[in-house]
Structures are given as C-alpha cells and as structure tokens.
Amino acid sequence: MENIEKHRFVRIGIVQSVSSCDIDKNIAVAEKQIRQAAQQGVQIVCLQELFCSLYFCDTENHSHFQLSETVPGPTTARMKALSAELDVVIIASLFEERAPGLYHNTTVVIDADGSYLGMYRKNHIPDDPGFYEKFYFTPGDTGYQVFKTKYANIGTLICWDQWYPEAARITALMGAEILFYPTAIGWDISETSETVNREQYDSWQTIQRSHAIANGVHVVAVNRTGIEGGTRFWGGSFVANPFGTLLYQAPHDLPETKVIEIDVELNRQYRQIWPFLRDRRIDTYQPILNRFIE
C-alpha cells in the first residue's frame, strides 16, 4: 500500500455550521465558510443538510412549508455564482417545492464553472420523534445519482440514506469515487447517558466507514452542530478513506471549515488488494428485493 505510483489529489471541504432562524444569515454564513475553504485551496465543498434554515422537521407544522423553494431556484443561483467565482464544486442541500403540496429533501451539485449538474432527491425518509420528515418530504424519484465534476465523480446521498448499504453500493457501482452525505443528526437533549450518546455517534460513523470499505471509495459526512429545539446536533463531520480510516473528524460542538486532501487513486489501490467487487455473487442477491423473507 505504500508504493503508490499514481496519485490524483482532490481537496475536500467540510462546512459544519450552527443554524439560526434567519435564512439570509444562514446562507451568508455558508458563503463565508465556502470562501474560507477556497482560501485553503478547496476544490469540492459540501454543506450540511437543509443548511438554509433551522432543522424544521422537529415538529409537524404547516407554516414550515414556506421555507421551501424551487430547485433550481434562488439559492441554487447564488451557489452557481459563488462556484463560478471561486472555481469550486458546491454540494448544497435544499428544501424543494416541486409543486404546491409536493416537496422533497434535495441536494444540488454545481460544477466549478458554475454550471448546474443536477439534483438528487433523498430516497429514505425517516419518521421518528424530533425527525418528522415524512410530514414534509415525498421520497425521491431521481434514482441514485453520480455527478461528473471537474475534479472527481461524486455521489450525493442525504442523512437517513447513510444507514442503508444498498444506497452506497448502487451509487458506487454507478462510478462514484467519493460519497457525500449532507446530514442533520444529533442527540436528544434529555438523554444524559454519555454511554448512549457515544454509542449513537459511533454507530453513525461506523456504518458510513463500512460503506467506504465495502465499496472502495472515500466517504464524506457533513453534519450540523448546535442545539435546536430538543436536539443537540452532534457535529463530528468526517472524511474516511477507501478502507474506512478516518482522515479527519470535526469537533462535536463547534462550527468548522476544514479542507482535507484525499488521493482518489487510492480507490483503485484498495479495490485491487481487497477485491470485494470482483467476488460479489450477484446471482444470489435476488432475495434482497423482498421487504422481508418469511
């Protein structure tokens, strides 16, 4: 593993933030952090899930639909202009109004020249205390997506998608070299057990590091931080290499703008030494299409 003859370095930017009820302020903060990352030479930068607002899904409230926007729309346009100015790929998670009464949790990808490459609509929609997303979002219908950016082929999945190996596998098989997960997840503020809180965070990180290992790709998870309602978002954004090794982990309780250089050529190296894709028995996997096997 030490004698790698080829390299293809890409500088990845994590933007972990504390959100407020002021949408304009949140977008301005995101733009400021992207500029800070650009000063560090970032090439692909990822924002946290639903970065424009507070995480409104903690309650079922019809007034929150006013936070939605068309995609592409005004925030996409702002990100396009910023991307073209800075020569940076931007991954931005938005609350999409597709039509009145039809909404999605959607990520857009803007290439480094400011061109709009497309969107991915979140497939897996949770419904748990503090995370009432089924009230707001229709499950995605874009299929899994890979975007050929100036710097790398990237896949964008969203938060709850990160618990599903199938989503990571399909996106990797489509040619993604890096999997990005814009995220909003945290601890219940009433939970006082540090053991429980640590177990939850470790599980979240472990499942995503396993996607890196199983698929031989880099994984980038970008979470929010700060207390909103009954949730203390646990931050801890991270980058893992294609064998699940942590290259960086952000703090739990502070905003963070961090640029991490990765070598995308490592994907090839690890896949050659650990040929999981070669040994897949796709002829035996039909049962996975069942909801449950009786």
User: Which CATH number belongs to the domain containing residue 193 in this structure?
Assistant: 3.60.110.10
Worst-scoring range by mean pLDDT, 4-13, 18-27, 61-70?
4-13
pLDDT of 128: 94
**In this structure, are residues 63 and 107 in contact, taking their beta carbons and an 8 Å threshold?**
no
In this prediction, residues 4-25 reach a mean pLDDT of 94
Dihedrals phi, psi of 192, to nearest 5 degrees: -100, -5
* Tokens standing for residue 71: 């995609």
Q: What mean pLDDT do residues 53-76 have?
A: 98
Inform me whether the pLDDT recorded for 2 exceeds 70. no
In a domain, 288, yes or no: no
Judged by DSSP in three states, 156 sits in strand
- The answer to whether position 261 is within a domain reads yes
- Domain presence at residue 279: no
Quick one: residue 98, left, alpha or beta (phi over 0 = left, psi -120 to 50 = alpha)? alpha
Region 72-90 average pLDDT: 98
Q: Does some domain include residue 33?
A: yes
What one-character-per-residue DSSP string does 20-44 give? Answer: -S-HHHHHHHHHHHHHHHHHTT-SE
Q: Which of these is catalytic: 31, 52, 57, 122?
A: 122
- Residue 34 in domain: yes
Name the domain count of the chain: 1
Question: CB–CB of 209/215 below 8 Å?
Answer: no
pLDDT tens per residue, range 240-257:
999 999 999 999 999 999
* pLDDT reported for residue 13: 98
Domain with 100 in it: 9-273
67 CB-near residues (< 8 Å, 6+ apart): 23, 52, 53, 56, 95
- CB contact at 8 A, 127 and 82: no
* 185 closest CA partner among 142, 238, 258, 247: 238
The yes-or-no answer on residue 85 being catalytic is: no
Q: Is 159 a catalytic residue?
A: yes
Contact 88, 94 (CB under 8 A): no
The residue annotated as part of the active site, out of 159, 228, 256, 258, is 159
Within a domain: 294: no
Model pLDDT for residues 43-64, shown as the tens digit of each residue: 999 999 999 999 999 999 999 9
Bridge-partner residues for 108, per DSSP?
92, 119
- Per-residue confidence band for 31, with pLDDT thresholds at 50, 70 and 90: very high
- Catalytic choice (49, 97, 133, 228): 49
User: 103 and 69 in contact (C-beta within 8 Å)?
Assistant: no
- How far lies 170's CA from each of 104, 156, 275, in Å? 21, 12, 17
In the residue annotation, 122 being an active-site residue is answered as yes
Enter the tokens of residue 39: 């000063």
Average pLDDT score over residue span 18-22: 97
> Residue range 57-85: average pLDDT?
98
The one-letter code for the residue type at 198 is: R
Q: Does residue 285 lie in a domain region? A: no
Residue 3 has pLDDT above 60, yes or no: no
Beta-bridge mates of residue 155:
146, 179
Q: What is the pLDDT of residue 4?
A: 54
Return the closest-CA partner of residue 255 out of 14, 13, 12, 11: 14
Q: Give the sheet arrangement for strand 186-188, strand by strand.
A: 186-188, 231-234, 225-228
Which residues contact residue 254 at a Cβ distance below 8 angstroms, ignoring those fewer than 6 apart? 16, 225, 235
For 153-194, how does the pLDDT look when each residue is reduced to its tens digit (9 = 90+)?
A: 999 999 999 999 999 999 999 999 999 999 999 999 999 999
Residue 289 lies in a domain: no
On average, the pLDDT of the chain sits at 97
pTM: 0.97
In tens, the pLDDT along 96-151 reads 999 999 999 999 999 999 999 999 999 999 999 999 999 999 999 999 999 999 99
Asked if the peptide bond before residue 74 counts as cis, ω within 30 degrees of 0, the response is: no
Percent of residues, the chain, with pLDDT higher than 70: 98
N-terminal to C-terminal alpha carbon distance within the chain: 44
Model confidence at 82, in pLDDT bands (50, 70, 90)? very high
Report the candidate in 10, 11, 17 with the shortest Cα–Cα distance to residue 37. Answer: 11
Give the pLDDT confidence score for residue 216 in this predicted structure. 98
User: What span, in angstroms and rounded, lies between the C-alpha atoms of 29 and 245?
Assistant: 30
